[in-house]
C-alpha cells in the first residue's frame, strides 16, 4: 500500500503545489486535497498575511508618531536620525541602532514587560507586543520573513488555520519570554513567525506519506530553523520568544494542518465494491491528541507560573543560555 501511494504521489505531483522552505530553495511536491476548487486546481487567495504586514507597518508608523524624537530626545543621547521626517524621525543610533522609537515609547504602547504584566495586571501586553517593532531593520526583517513563509502557507491551508497558528504562536512566545526575561522590554512578531516555521515542520511529519523528496525537505527545513534559533543566541535578541513560538506552532501543526491520505479525495470515483480509505491515518490522530494535550498543559502551567510571579530562571539555572551565550566579544545582560 505504501508503494502504491508513493507511486501515486509521484505521478500526480505536477497537479499540486510546491511546498518550499522559507529560503526559497528546493521543494516537496504533493497533491493538495485541501484545495477549495478542485475542478480548476486553484487554492486559497492569501489576504490575511498581507493584512498582517499592513497592520504591523501601520503600528510602527503610529509608534514613531507618538515617539516624536525631535521633541523628546535627551540631548546627551545625540541627534535624531533622519530629522527631515519630522516627528517620525528615529531615536539617536546610540540609543536605538535599529532605527526606531525609544524603549519608553514601546513600553507605553504595549511592549512586553514582566512588571507591567504581573504586578500591573496588564495581561493584554502578551498580545500587543506582537505588533510592535524596535525599528525599521527589525520590522523589515520580520515582514519579509512573514511574506515569504506566510503567503504560501495561507494559500495551502486557508486564512483561518494560518491566522490561528500565527496569533497563538505569538502568544506562546510572549508567555515563555515573560517567564524568563524580567528586566527588559520585548517586542516583535518573531515568536509568531517561528510558530509558522514550527507548523511547517510538524505538517511535514504528520503528512509524511504523501510527500516525495521527504529527507531533502526535512533536512532543509531543520537547517533553516537551527540557523534562525542560533541567531537568537546573540545579545538583545529574545530567543525565548522564538523558542516558545516555535514549540507552540509545532504542536498546532499536528492539530490544524492534517492532510487526507491519497485516495480519500477520489472516493467518489472508485467502484462501490472497493473499500474506501479512511480520511486520515492512525498516527495522525495520535499526533493530534498528544499535541493538543501538551499544548493545553503547557499554556496552563505557563500562565499559572507567570501570574504567580514565579521566576523561571530559579527553576532552570542554565536556561538563560538559550537566549544569549556570553563570549569574548560580548556579554549578556
Residue 76: all three cell numbers together: 546627551
What is the Cα 43 distance to its own chain's centre? 22
Q: What are phi and psi of 29, to 5 degrees?
A: -80, 140
End-to-end alpha carbon distance in the chain? 56
CB 243 within 8 A of CB 227: no
Rounded CA-CA distance 302/178 in Å is 10
Rounded CA-CA distance 106/67 in Å is 9
3-class SS of residue 29: strand
* Among 108, 134, 116, 243, CA closest to 188: 134
CA angle centred on 288, ends 279 and 204, rounded to 5°:
75
Q: Could you tell me which residues are beta bridge partners of residue 224?
A: none
Q: Which residue numbers are catalytic?
A: 190, 242
CB 326 within 8 A of CB 332: yes
Query: 303: burial class by Cβ within 10 Å (0-12, 13-18, 19+)?
Result: middle
Alpha helices in the chain (DSSP H): 2-12, 48-67, 69-72, 103-108, 114-118, 125-128, 136-157, 159-180, 190-206, 214-231, 239-256, 282-307, 312-315
* Among 165, 222, 231, 238, CA closest to 195: 165
In a 13 Å sphere around the CA of 67, the CA atoms on its Cβ side amount to 33
Q: Could you tell me which residues are beta bridge partners of residue 17?
A: 30
Amino acid at each position: 500500500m505504501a508503494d502504491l501511494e508513493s507511486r501515486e504521489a509521484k505521478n500526480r505531483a505536477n497537479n499540486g503545489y510546491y511546498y518550499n522552505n522559507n529560503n526559497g530553495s528546493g521543494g516537496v511536491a504533493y497533491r493538495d486535497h485541501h484545495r477549495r476548487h478542485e475542478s480548476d486546481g486553484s487554492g486559497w487567495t492569501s489576504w490575511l498575511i498581507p493584512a498582517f504586514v499592513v497592520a504591523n507597518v501601520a503600528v510602527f508608523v503610529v509608534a514613531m508618531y507618538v515617539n516624536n524624537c525631535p521633541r523628546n530626545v535627551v540631548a546627551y543621547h545625540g541627534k535624531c536620525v533622519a530629522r527631515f521626517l519630522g516627528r517620525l524621525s528615529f531615536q539617536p543610533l546610540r540609543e536605538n541602532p535599529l532605527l526606531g522609537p525609544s524603549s519608553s515609547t514601546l513600553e507605553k504602547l504595549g511592549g512586553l514587560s514582566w512588571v507591567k504584566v504581573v504586578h500591573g495586571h496588564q495581561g493584554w501586553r502578551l498580545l500587543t507586543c506582537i505588533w510592535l517593532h524596535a525599528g525599521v531593520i527589525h520590522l523589515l526583517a520580520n515582514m519579509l520573513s512573514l511574506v515569504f513563509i506566510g503567503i504560501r502557507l495561507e494559500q495551502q491551508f486557508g486564512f483561518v488555520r494560518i491566522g490561528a497558528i500565527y496569533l497563538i504562536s505569538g502568544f506562546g512566545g510572549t508567555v515563555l519570554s515573560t517567564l524568563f526575561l524580567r528586566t527588559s522590554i520585548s517586542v516583535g512578531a518573531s515568536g509568531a513567525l517561528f510558530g509558522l516555521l514550527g507548523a511547517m515542520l510538524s505538517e511535514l511529519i504528520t503528512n509524511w506519506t504523501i510527500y516525495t523528496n521527504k529527507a531533502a525537505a526535512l533536512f532543509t527545513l531543520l537547517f533553516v530553523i537551527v540557523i534562525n534559533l542560533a541567531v537568537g543566541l546573540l545579545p538583545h535578541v529574545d530567543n525565548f520568544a522564538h523558542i516558545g513560538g516555535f514549540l507552540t506552532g509545532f504542536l498546532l501543526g499536528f492539530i490544524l494542518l492534517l492532510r487526507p491520505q491519497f485516495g480519500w479525495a477520489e472516493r467518489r470515483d472508485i467502484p462501490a465494491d472497493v473499500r474506501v480509505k479512511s480520511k486520515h491515518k492512525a498516527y495522525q490522530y495520535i499526533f493530534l491528541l498528544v499535541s493538543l494535550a501538551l499544548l493545553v498543559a503547557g499554556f496552563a502551567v505557563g500562565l499559572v507560573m507567570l501570574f504567580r510571579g514565579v521566576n523561571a530562571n530559579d527553576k532552570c539555572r542554565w536556561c538563560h543560555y538559550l537566549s544569549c551565550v556570553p563570549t569574548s566579544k560580548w556579554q549578556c545582560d
